[in-house]
Structure 1
Amino acid sequence: MILVFSAVLLALYLSSNRALIETLRFGRENERLLEQVKEAKERLDLALQAANILIWDWDARRTNVFLGGSWAIILRVGKETSALSPDELAQMVHPDDLPKVKQALSQCLDGGHSEYVAEHRVKTLAGGWVWSLSRGRVVERDAGGRALRMTGVNVDIDDRKRAEAELLAAVQREKELSEMKSKFVSTASHEFRTPLATMLSSAELLEHYAESLSPAEKVNLLQTIQGSAKRMSEMIDDVLTLGRAESGVLKLNLGPTNLRELCGRVVSEFRIAQGKQHIITLDDRFDRVEAHMDERLLRHILNNLLSNAVKYSPPGSEVTFSLARSGERAAIEIQDRGIGIPLEDQPRMFESFHRASNVENRSGTGLGLAIVKKAVELHGGEISLTSAVGSGTRFTVMIPLRPIDQPAGVS
């Protein structure tokens, strides 16, 4: 009997040991499995973060939408969260994008589309907006076809959207530049043709009728040829100067400049030539003997601005040239009472080939102000304009008396 009882006890002991061993073995396997699952989740989270992807899971039987994949880090929406209500998510979508997002969601939930796809902006904690691509599918429906569960991902596409916008802007700018260049070629052809025709006709008159022409008539024809040649030379110089400026070849030749004397000479020249039908007033309040500038480029700036003031103003109107000092800068203002510049044209008036839309048949190539701006900036200065259609335009030039990037005494 004792032997039987002992055998039974031994059998029970061995059986319990085997169960304990199996339990321990199963526990260790569970630990390994849990560790593998943890590692897999970490790898997935890292992959989602690296790819700027977040995951979401909506269940009609729950109140909130589950969020994963570091939503806050990817879309920079602030505090990390694992769930948001549909209304909270809707508030994060840009108002302009919300209708199309709701429409895409409805079409997918109703079964009209197999997949939900929408590009929209998401509000950040700072109040800005980032672009996101949202994709999802209905993964569970009830017997009646009603959507019960939907899962999907969001991808941060803000960089792509910015690149697309920059590319579109560049394409548009290239298109505009091409149109302006075509317009310039057409305008330049006309501008060259007119003085050429004048020169040819004057030369033919001198060739065939020199004996019958009076000395005064001959002088007048010669002056006409000289004026036309000068006009063509100025246009060619404008093109070459702009080319040198844009390629960085145009350099300053600084030296002592008597600014009051230079401005006085330029105004006097205009009073007896281009501006003889206008009243040109010089308001000189400059109180320095000299400045340190490139006199040739400065003359170009003044000639161009005065020429425009005269060209776009009616005969008999006043053009005011003001010279003063503002700190260590020369302040030059040229005010006309002409046609003015439309508001939509003003931001682009210093661009190459651009001309205001109201110039009508007045001659010009659209290069003058672009060259002026380059010359002013080479001096370390600034140029601005204020204008109103029908009231006139004022250009203001501010140039350092001694450019700040040039050591004292350098010429």
Structure 2
Amino acid sequence: MTAAQRIQENVDRILRLIMGFLDASKAEGGESQQLATSVALNAIITEVARQQTVDLWSNDLTVDLRLDPNLPEISGDAAQLERVFWNLMSNAIKFTAANGKITISTEAVRDQVCVKESDTGIGISKDEMPLLFSEFRRLKGASTTEGSGLGLDIVKNIVKGHGGTVNVESELGAGATFLLHFPIAGKPPVSRGEQQRQGIEQFD
């Protein structure tokens, strides 16, 4: 790597950190709650996967998109939602070994749009699970990867600001699955009672 490439890499890293702090500030300030436009999540997920093509290729990973062609739209901020799926896919790439796979699926269930992202990565231990969405917290397996530890905190805050929920299922050494639920446009937010009926474990 040349000196110019190292400088550019450091600039890109700093910009990502700044964008992370700005996104966290917006989410905490409630800006993502201004749900004014209809958003097609399939289009956002497809675009994020396209943007991550180089990282997927350089890490010898494949991505499998299983998107419901009749998925209803949700109400929200497309840029903020793109950040959600960018962060989730970036984490999956960081913690999945070569020849691994990332699978993203969408479907409509009752009045909700459900998104599932699974990877064949290192997984998460049970004792670390409650810390997963905490601000500035990083998992033990993150010690050799770059980042501020804000990624999943941003995800949680943005999704919550859109009336949705985000949860995770994982075992150490067995990959991780992130489950996101959003209300269909014009429907009420996803309630805690509905999550309990579906058997979804909630992390605050």
> Which residue is 2:21 aligned to?
239
Give the TM-score of the pair, scaled to structure 1: 0.42
Matches for 1:16-55 after TM superposition, within 5 Å = none
Cα separation, partners in 2 of 1:347 and 1:287, compared to 1, 3 Å:
same
> Which residue is 1:143 aligned to?
none
Residue 314 of structure 1 and its aligned partner are, at CA, apart by: 0.3
Deviates more, 1:239-248 or 1:344-353: 239-248
Residue 358 of structure 1 and its aligned partner are, at CA, apart by: 2.8
Mind listing any 5+ residue stretches in structure 1 that lack a counterpart?
1-197, 203-220, 407-411
Cα separation, partners in 2 of 1:305 and 1:403, compared to 1, 3 Å:
farther
> Which residue is 1:393 aligned to?
176
Deviates more, 1:351-360 or 1:379-388: 351-360
Matches for 1:277-292 after TM superposition, within 5 Å = 277-288=60-71, 290-292=73-75
Cα separation, partners in 2 of 1:395 and 1:355, compared to 1, 3 Å:
same
Give distance in 1, aligned partners of 2:50 and 2:69.
Answer: 17
Mind listing any 5+ residue stretches in structure 2 that lack a counterpart?
190-204
Residue 237 of structure 1 and its aligned partner are, at CA, apart by: 1.3
Give distance in 2, aligned partners of 1:366 and 1:312.
Answer: 14
> Which residue is 2:54 aligned to?
273
Residue 288 of structure 1 and its aligned partner are, at CA, apart by: 3.3
Give distance in 1, aligned partners of 2:12 and 2:134.
Answer: 25
Task: For 2:132, give the aligned amino acid.
Answer: M
Residue 383 of structure 1 and its aligned partner are, at CA, apart by: 0.5
Give distance in 2, aligned partners of 1:359 and 1:238.
Answer: 17
Matches for 1:218-367 after TM superposition, within 5 Å = 221=5, 225-248=7-30, 250-270=32-52, 272-276=53-57, 277-288=60-71, 290-367=73-150
Cα separation, partners in 2 of 1:225 and 1:327, compared to 1, 3 Å:
farther
Give distance in 2, aligned partners of 1:248 and 1:354.
Answer: 22
Residue 290 of structure 1 and its aligned partner are, at CA, apart by: 3.3
Superposed CA offset, 1:201-240 (max 9, x none): 31xxxxxxxxxxxxxxxxxx4xx65454233212111112
Instruction: Say if 1:318 and 1:336, in contact at 8 Å, map to a contact too.
Output: yes
Select the structure with the greater relative contact order (CA < 8 A; seq sep ≥ 6).
2
Give distance in 2, aligned partners of 1:372 and 1:242.
Answer: 9
Q: CA RMSD in A?
A: 2.3
Superposed CA offset, 1:23-42 (max 9, x none): xxxxxxxxxxxxxxxxxxxx
Instruction: Say if 1:342 and 1:357, in contact at 8 Å, map to a contact too.
Output: no
Give the TM-score of the pair, scaled to structure 2: 0.82
Superposed CA offset, 1:61-102 (max 9, x none): xxxxxxxxxxxxxxxxxxxxxxxxxxxxxxxxxxxxxxxxxx
Q: Which of the pair is proportionally richer in helix? A: 1
